[in-house]
Amino acid sequence: RPESVKIDAKNLSGSRFSVTLSGLPARVFQHEFDHLEGTLFFERMTEEVLDTIHEGLQALEVKYEKSTGLPSPEKVAIRQRSKAGVGFGKN
């Protein structure tokens, strides 16, 4: 992920403003923005990185299903990978 981001937005009154974030705040913003776009963190991983945590992600899905009695809303095994350009293990 980029180390810093510039955000152009509107406040509740409709006035435009900009803010530049760097470091952890920039990373958090990008992570939360991914949620709004429907992108999950594992979609930004290379196949090599995803392979190293695949079993752990599936175990979390099973734990969720057992504790809630509901099917997991996302299945790492069947989720289509987005065309995310940057992320874990990506340049």
Contact 89, 81 (CB under 8 A): no
**32 tagged catalytic:** yes
Q: Read off φ and ψ for residue 59, nearest 5 degrees.
A: -65, -40
Q: Which of 32, 37, 48, 74 is catalytic?
A: 32
> Cα Rg for the chain, rounded, in angstroms?
16
Give the number of other CB atoms < 10 A from CB of residue 22: 12
Catalytically active residues, by annotation:
32
